Structure 1
Amino acid sequence: MTDTEWAEVRPLLPVPGWLRGRGGQPEAYCHRQMLDAIRYLVDNGIKWRAMPADFPPWDRVYAFFRRWRENALVQEFHDRLRAKVREKLGRDAEPTAGVIDSQSIKADAVVGADSRGFDGGKLVNGRKRHVVVDTLGLLLGVMVTAADIGDRAAAQVLLGRVAAAHHRLELVWADGGYTGSLVEHCLATFALVLAIVKRSDDMRGFVVLPKRWIVERLFAHLMQSRRLVRDVERRTSSAEAMIYWSMTLLMTRRLARPRPSRA
């Protein structure tokens, strides 16, 4: 991170327990070093043991990653960054509308049979990333499943989590794969309107559809992080954490940009 990014990030970091008087020992390495190491790994797709010597030892970085994953600290950090990005752009911190979609991705050999499957539509053997984004393309929620899990089944769980975390959310756009009983379920259970944006039968070739392109922009960003080009995580929780870390790269860079002049 640049010094400008770090100035934006530092106040948003979760406070360690030892600083709150809850016991424990002070951490041996600066949070900035740890964040830089994990973001380097995500961005460049290296193995944990290939961590460059400029960073703390790989096992200490992995222990930091695992602690933040298991205690949902990476998600907390990510959500604080998202709120600050939205406020910088003149939006409310909490969104009222979003977009849902999924992306099937090939899985590495280390991914066990219990969390991988075959997506017959995309012809992909691996996992599927189900995401909900706001109208700026920022992540609201993610769930990684086997690739053979249907979009509607996963969306029922994911939308429940997102609706519980974002009480102002009222409307979510989706493609034709989410039609059926899910629309009525979302309205009755989550008080959430699921609006289906369908592709016309007359359309030929690539056509930009309203709202649905927003979530595709997020998928494009994820594919720029080499660690996410293929799913190489043994656990789905680690795969989800890597997506959150990738989004922190995007948002800290946005926060570090000069504010637009109103002159």
Structure 2
Amino acid sequence: MSMRKPYPSDLTDEQWELVEPVITAWKAWHPSVSGHQGKYAMREIVNAILYQNRTGCQWEFLPHDMPPPGAVKYYFYLWRDEGTDQDLHDLLRWQLREKRKRLADPSLVVLDTQSIHVAVGVPATTTGRDAAKKVPGRKRCLAVDVLGLVVAVAVLPASAHDNTAGIALLGGVAAQTDTVRKALVDQGFKKKVVEHGENVGIDVEIVERNPDDKGFVPQAKRWIVEQTNGILMFYRRLVRDYEHRPASSRSRVLWAMTSVMSRRLTGRTIASWRTA
């Protein structure tokens, strides 16, 4: 750790101990030809990614006492493309589930989508308009377990039907684990999702809304995905989609949940932007 004053988003020593093995293993697989260990500490690179995720700042607005934007970008994109962000995220998810006295992988997931506005400059070819919610942008799609931990994430144009989102998520869940047997979805998901679930060995149940309910009424078990969406909104980089590539948007979700899970594993909290 450098001698700089820490930011609230920084990993504590205890949290870094959770993250460090994955980063060290990655470094071992990417040795420098000259034997050079790199100019910047990996912990500071991770802290810079978490800082940007939490504050929503542009690359060039990263604080001067952190590694330069070019170095942070390099690792963010490389870890995204090589799946290191996924490896780190999954390791913490397994550890947190086991800490909560559950098996490492779930048997049930909950699926949902959230349409997000995009920033100026995001390629129009990767966006669309959600006709139902009247939102132009992208659709963030999550499959979470009963603890609200992300098992699969997909980012699509907002114009994509929930069927497309559901099929992508079920495929992601099946690729992650063979333990999931049931998925709960809302009425936006249709028969095609149920049929795809059968193909990958997952029973998809469409949870019907009670017609007598007025306004927003949380549905048993399905509410947990709404809670996860709400938690992600504390990470300002996720409030609006700033990423040119959907793969980067997906990576942002993984990093946000990595921050969440590292804090839950170590019993730490971080002040929300609502805190006075």
**TM-score of the superposed pair, with normalisation by structure 1:** 0.93
1:58 aligned residue = 69
Residue 79 (1) aligns with residue 100 (2): no
2:252 to 233, 238, 242: 242
In 2, Cα distance between equivalents of 1:91 and 1:13: 26
1:208 aligned residue = 218
1:191 aligned residue = 201
Shift in Å, 1:11: 2.9
Residue 43 (1) aligns with residue 54 (2): yes
Shift in Å, 1:197: 1.1
1:147 aligned residue = 158
SS at match of 2:109: strand
Structure 1 stretches of 4+ with a deviation exceeding 6 A read none
In 2, Cα distance between equivalents of 1:72 and 1:12: 11
Shift in Å, 1:97: 0.7
In 1, Cα distance between equivalents of 2:248 and 2:132: 26
In 1, Cα distance between equivalents of 2:102 and 2:169: 24
Shift in Å, 1:161: 2.2
In 1, Cα distance between equivalents of 2:25 and 2:49: 18
Shift in Å, 1:35: 0.7
Residue 6 (1) aligns with residue 16 (2): yes
In 2, Cα distance between equivalents of 1:123 and 1:154: 17
1:231 aligned residue = 241
Tell whether the 8 Å contact from 1:100 to 1:132 is kept in structure 2 after alignment.
yes
SS at match of 2:188: helix
Shift in Å, 1:23: 5.3
Residue 156 (1) aligns with residue 167 (2): yes
Shift in Å, 1:8: 2.6
In 1, Cα distance between equivalents of 2:20 and 2:99: 17
**TM-score of the superposed pair, with normalisation by structure 2:** 0.89
> What amino acid does structure 1 have at the position aligned with 2:210?
S
In 2, Cα distance between equivalents of 1:21 and 1:43: 28
Q: What percent of counterpart residues are identical?
A: 38
1:34 to 15, 31, 45: 45
In 1, Cα distance between equivalents of 2:251 and 2:74: 14
> What amino acid does structure 2 have at the position aligned with 1:2?
T
Q: Which runs of 5+ in 1 are unaligned?
A: 259-263
Using the TM superposition, name which of 198-207 and 176-185 deviates more.
Answer: 176-185
